[in-house]
Structure 1
Amino acid sequence: MRLEGALYPWRFRLVLLLLALMVGAIVWRIVDLQIIDRDFLQAHGDARSVRHIPIPAHRGLVTDRNGEPLAVSTPVTTLWANGRELQAAKAQWSGLAVALGQEPKTFAERLQANAEREFMYLVRGLTPEQGQRVLDLKVPGVYAIEEFRRFYPAGEVTAHVVGFTDIDDRGREGMELAFDEWLAGVPGKRQVLKDRRGRLIKDVQVAQNAKAGKALALSIDLRLQYLAHRELRNALVEFGAKAGSLVMIDVKTGEVLAMVNQPTYNPNNRRSLQPAAMRNRAMIDVFEPGSTVKPFSMSAALESGRWKPTDTVDVYPGSMRIGKYTIRDVSRSNGPLDLAGILIKSSNVGMSKIAFDIGGESIYALMQQVGLGQDTGLGFPGERIGNLPNHRNWRQAETATLSYGYGLSVTAVQLVHAYSVLANDGRNVPLSLTRVDQAPDGVQVMPADIAETMQGMLQQVIEAPGGAHRAMVPGYHVAGKSGTARKATVGAKGYTENAYRALFAGFGPMSDPRIAVAVVIDEPSKGGYYGGLISAPVFGKVMAGALRLMNIVPDNLPPVESQELAVNTGTGGRI
């Protein structure tokens, strides 16, 4: 018998040729993938094994104007787990739970519910020592990553200004939120190799270095902040007040030197935090400023040219009827008052009569120029603008109420800013919560001579007989004005019964004004409610401490001859 292949030799050669072509194609593909186009296989291999682990960026340091730290970032350890790997180590779950400070039964239920997940947080924000103790247990599937946690050395004293970050180190309140992009930095990347179960095989290289956030120097002086915090807190305790705010600024540069609120909170421990305590009342709460705006109404009168400081107004009998409204004075006066006397007695009747003469429009214009009811430009999250009403036709009731501080709403920051204009000889300097290296030029919004006249009048408000003596500062001449405002009813018209805000705003020293301070105390319940009684002492104590801390030369010391005479006669005390 003859073989099939022998009868048809071309078939055999065809099969050999096809086999050779197939082998050649395979060899060519191998060469192509391994040598010529190797990126294809490498990319697919990397996709299954190469991973990029983020490198956290160090958040920028926040300091006060003198370099004292207000917010710093510290390294912490975060533990995470691969739920699938942990299922093979159930015998170690109880010990792991104890090391993490968690209840074993609850911890086991949580791991069982996440059995199919390859990533889950076990605990975040441990100290490196605490994290290492857990890792030393060598539980399969438990891993660690390095993160940063924010710490606030001044605690509750600067909480409302600095704010805080969340667990992912993102700004959530205060300057931490306002300057989040500036402080945050840029995370880096580390390239690693992992097996199919997600276990780390090799740390290959740093693909991108982390870029630390930039430092931020605030305008706050921590020494003055502590001083203001202490005095405001003591006042709230003494007078049984509900809340309070105090703001201090440098009248030359517009820098906010201190800003405190009560109640406050500890940003390092927010587990029992009440939302109301987080509110920066100095920037967010608006109120009717009462008699503290009378100096600006008086300034408008002087600027109109129709009034001089020596002019008098008859305020007898201490009340005045306008339609269905009655304007009353708290301090009764039997005779005419000059302009300084109207401020000293805080006469609503006298201020209203002046306002009727010059018109509500001129008062509105000046209040707007000094920043009442206007945007401060600070850019603080949640800051309120308030309201300064402007009417097409100014009726007597609207003119009168505006002149003595009702019908408008302002913040404590706006109030102290307005007083800084008077202290700075009528020049409006923009406010700043960050340190200013060079004083801005500002804008002249009031004639300098009128501002200087008002400075003298406000000095008399404190030092004259019957003035606000509780605001006096030993060794210095200071100026200011008290105010007492009824609280408006929330959600309805009218005012709340027996609910007041005690106010005081002023500046000093009078030889060359440097500091302006505004104090707002909400609903005092013990010892009275008038601004001259409640808020004026806080102003005096804070101003006294601030002038000394800033080494400002006293301008109200007794003459040297008087001091020597007191020593020689034995009345000056022991030496």
Structure 2
Amino acid sequence: MKKRVFIVATCIGIGLCILLIRLMQVQLASTESFTSRNINLLERSISQRAHIYAIHDGRGGLVDRHNEHLSEEYQPVLLLFPFLRKIDWPVEQVAKIVGVSSKTLTEHVERTKEVVIDDGIELTEEGMKQVNALRIPGVIAVSKKKDISGVAAEHLLGLVGKNSDLLERKYKERMQNGNISFNTLTGISGLQYSFDEFLLSDGEKKLLYHVDRKGDSLFGTKVKYVEPGNPFYPVMVKTTIHKQIQMIGEALLTKYNIQKGGMVLVDVKTNEVLALASKPTLDRNNYKETITNYMLTRQFPGSVFKTVIAAAALEKGRYTSTRTFNCDLDVYGEKGSRALGELSFEDSFAKSCNYTFATLGNELIKRDKNMMEEYAKKLGMEERVGWHGRVFHYDDFRPLEEEDTNVIWHEEKEKHIQKAVAQTAIGQKDVQYTPLAIANMMATIARGGERKEIKVVSDILYKNSMSFYHFEEHHLGGDGLQQSTVKILQQLMKKVTEKGGTAESLNKLPYKVAGKTGTAEIVKDGSNQSVNKWIAGYFPYENPRYALVVVELSSASTGNNPIRIFHDYVQELYKYDQQVRE
């Protein structure tokens, strides 16, 4: 009998020890990351006895150059707490302010045990102030953060989402301090990713009240307002994007049904991105298939790259006004498909003669095997052209983290192969540049050869809109082009848009345009082929303000949508500039 009692007592003791250990784990050790699913027990326990209404998730936002919100908006909403149905409150006064019947508000409260959020009411900022001035318990008007549908520059701004692995790896200390949890949103792509450490939430701004098991208020009509203690946060990242101009560009890409490609518009004077859009449209429900920002991804530039060869030829004595080229020949000096006859250097550029630039490419590289890389850099086409530098504890911070590295050659030995050099000189073979880099080249030429890094963010702002970090303008080091060379390049590019040039349809625009077209062959299979179609240029020619690149990638269509988009964009920008002046 004693032995049995001992065994039973031992089993009960072991069971109690197990329960005690489990209880310690639940209450002390794993309160914020219970089980493999990382359940926050503290949050769950609070949610059982408290109703929470989140006003702001605490994450910083992104604004355009005029401080207009790009990723979010703030909407006045009326909150009606459920305990109102048990007290007398001046429903008529509230109804008069918000412009609905008192019966409507009463029915809203009676229908649910949750906080009524009446988004349907047209509440103004003034109406919000009037409601809150009444100081009615359970009746509150707030400005609520709301994600914008149809975000402008969505690929550039990027996505946010839940990533527990990233949080634990990158923000372990902040998680241990309880500032963030596994439910905190982090940047997945774009500027949201690059600036994640600045934008990361320090806590929600919310309204909270406690309830019993029936959902009735535990502490009368008391509603608690909770927000992080730091009055300077969350911060805002101020981009260089001009929202109105951005929306014009995106509308044109949609109008001309660009399936893959996009556009980049740069302010020539400041070298800041005014608009940047990539297609296909970002599908937030299946973002892995559409998340690529093709304006930061290197592509075959085709004849746009001839601008580099032209610059080198002008400075290395391969250009004379009397020299002509047999443009009935193709890139390899054989009978070609285009019958252009004997053309001068200027006409070869305007009509984009492959034979001319293949010939010049081979002549130049015999003198210096690094000629193409040298002159690409002189034109502002570095390996990466986006702004980079020291920002606080980051030694080499890049706002455009996703920007690809540009390339001309994959193997040194190909510089000694005539056909490889010929293909490279016309922007084929291994030559790949991002549309952003091409835009930088256009802006460099438009500025008279002054080379700069491209900026897409101007400031990081405190909550009160004061700047606590400004991204200074960065000039690129090294030698640039001679002024005489730049002037001739500008004239060559103007000739491309005049009668007989490859972009002559741009000749009668209200702004005079200078530019270069390009068509890069991607796939050739029998009669089917896919090409990249480019138009890159700047305007107005006499006093340059804008550098624009439009590209349609992997296109099989016969038309030239990029030139049509460029044409319409110039017209729209002219109209906009006239309105601003008025």
Pair 1:307 & 2:291 matched: no
Q: Which amino acid aligns with 1:341?
A: D
User: CA 1:148/1:207 → structure 2, altered by over 3 Å: closer, same or farther?
Assistant: closer
Q: Who is 2:288 aligned against?
A: 275
For residue 384 of structure 1, what is the amino acid of its counterpart?
D
- Relative to structure 1, is the Cα distance of residues 148 and 329 closer, same or farther in structure 2, using a 3 angstrom cutoff? farther
- Aligned equivalent of 1:356: 362
Q: How does 1:36-51 map to 2 (within 5 A)?
A: none
Instruction: Indicate how the Cα distance of structure 1 residues 133 and 327 shifts in structure 2: closer, same or farther if over 3 A, else same.
Output: farther
Match of 1:389 among 395, 402, 409: 409
In 1: Cα distance, 2:439 partner to 2:275 partner: 12
Instruction: State the partner residue of 1:249.
Output: 266
One-letter amino acid matched to 2:565: V
Given that 2:380 and 2:444 are in contact with CA atoms closer than 8 Å, whether structure 1 keeps it comes out as no
**Separation in 1, partners of 2:579, 2:490:** 18
- The answer on whether the counterparts of 1:252 and 1:429 sit within 8 Å (CA) in structure 2 is no
Aligned with 2:196 (options 180, 186, 191):
180
Q: Distance in 2 between matches of 1:132 and 1:258?
A: 49
Q: CA deviation at 1:327?
A: 6.1
- When Rg is computed on C-alpha atoms for both structures, the one with the higher figure is 1
Give the structure 2 partner of residue 140 of structure 1.
Answer: none
User: What is the rounded CA distance, in whole Å, between the counterparts of 2:242 and 2:571 in structure 1?
Assistant: 15
Find 2:154's aligned residue among 152, 156, 159.
Answer: 159
Name the SS of the counterpart of 1:135 in structure 2: coil
SS at match of 1:233: helix
CA distance in 1, matches of 2:192, 2:372: 38
Residue 340 of structure 2 is aligned to residue 333 of structure 1:
yes
Distance in 2 separating the partners of 1:308 and 1:471: 27
Matched, 1:377 2:386: yes
* 8 Å Cα contact 1:245/1:260 also seen in 2: yes
Q: Within 5 A, what are the aligned runs for 1:338-487?
A: 338-359=344-365, 360-372=369-381, 374-378=383-387, 379-389=399-409, 392-393=412-413, 394-395=415-416, 396-406=418-428, 407-435=430-458, 440-443=474-477, 445-487=480-522
Overall identity of the aligned pairs, in %? 19
Give secondary structure in 1 for the equivalent of 2:537. Answer: strand
CA 189–523 in structure 1, closer or farther in 2 if over 3 Å, else same: closer
User: Structure 2 CA distance, aligned partners of 1:75 and 1:52?
Assistant: 27
- Judged with a 3 Å threshold, the aligned counterparts in structure 2 of structure 1 residues 163 and 149 are, in CA distance, closer, same or farther, namely farther
SS of equivalent to 1:500:
strand
Q: Which residue does 1:225 correspond to in 2?
A: 246
8 Å contact kept, 2:327–2:338: no
Aligned to 1:214: 235
Contact 1:57 1:184 survives alignment (8 Å): no
Partner of 1:135: 113
How far apart are 1:220 and its partner, in Å?
A: 0.8
Distance 1:205 1:355, change over 3 A: closer
Change (3 A) 1:495 1:430: farther
Q: Which runs of 5+ in 2 are unaligned?
A: 1-27, 32-41, 78-106, 116-141, 163-183, 388-398, 460-469
Q: Which residue of 2 aligns with 1:511?
A: 542
In the other structure, the counterpart of 2:564 is 537
Query: 1:440-467 CA deviation, whole Å, 9 max, x = no partner?
Result: 5555522222111100111011114344
Q: How far off is 1:230 after superposition?
A: 1.5
Distance 1:473 1:163, change over 3 A: farther
Report if the CA contact (8 A) 1:218-1:435 is conserved: yes
Residues 377 and 130 of structure 1, relative CA distance in 2, 3 Å threshold? farther
Gaps of at least 5 residues in structure 1 are: 1-43, 78-128, 138-145, 555-575
Question: Conserved in 1, the CA contact under 8 Å of 2:249 and 2:263?
Answer: yes
Please give the secondary structure, in 1, of the residue aligned with 2:65.
coil
Conserved in 2, the CA contact under 8 Å of 1:293 and 1:404?
yes
Equivalent residue for 1:265, pick from 282, 293, 302: 282
Query: 2: distance between equivalents of 1:474 and 1:408?
Result: 32
The residue type paired with residue 346 of structure 1 is S
Matched residue SS, 2:187: coil
Match of 2:392 in 1: none
The secondary structure found in structure 2 opposite 1:70 is coil
3-state SS in 2 of match to 1:230: helix
Matched AA of 2:71: A
Deviation at 1:289, TM superposition (A): 0.6
Question: CA 1:187 to 1:355, structure 2 compared with 1: closer, same or farther past 3 Å?
Answer: same
Whole-Å separation in 2 of the counterparts to 1:151 and 1:466: 46
**Conservation of the 8 A alpha-carbon contact between 1:340 and 1:461:** no
Number of the residue aligned with 2:175: none
Q: Distance between the aligned counterparts of 1:177 and 1:150, measured in 2? A: 20
Q: Distance in 2 between matches of 1:132 and 1:149?
A: 26
For residues 545-556 of structure 1, the aligned pairs below 5 Å read: 545-551=572-578
TM superposition shift of 1:472: 3.1
> TM-score, normalized by length of structure 1?
0.64
Residues in 2 aligned to 1:132 and 1:372: alpha-carbon distance in whole angstroms: 65
Q: Deviations over 1:473-509 (max 9, x none)?
A: 52222111111111158xxxx9994111111111111
Query: Does the CA-based 8 Å contact 1:328-1:349 persist in structure 2?
Result: no
Q: Residues 420 and 516 of structure 1 are in contact (CA less than 8 Å); yes or no, is this contact kept in structure 2?
A: yes
Deviations 1:291-347 (A, max 9, x none): 01111111011121x1335142321542364xxxx6675542222x22211111211
**How many equivalent pairs are there?**
428
Q: Structure 1, residues 494-537: CA drift from partner, whole Å, max 9, x if none?
A: 999411111111111111212111111124444x15xxx33222
TM-score by length of 2: 0.63
The 5-angstrom pairing of residues 554-569 of structure 1 reads: none
Q: Do 1:371 and 1:414's aligned partners in 2 also have CA atoms closer than 8 Å? A: yes
Q: Structure 2: which amino acid aligns with 1:294? A: K
Secondary structure of 1:460's aligned partner: helix
RMSD between aligned residues: 4.3
User: Which moved further from structure 2: 358-367 or 202-211?
Assistant: 202-211
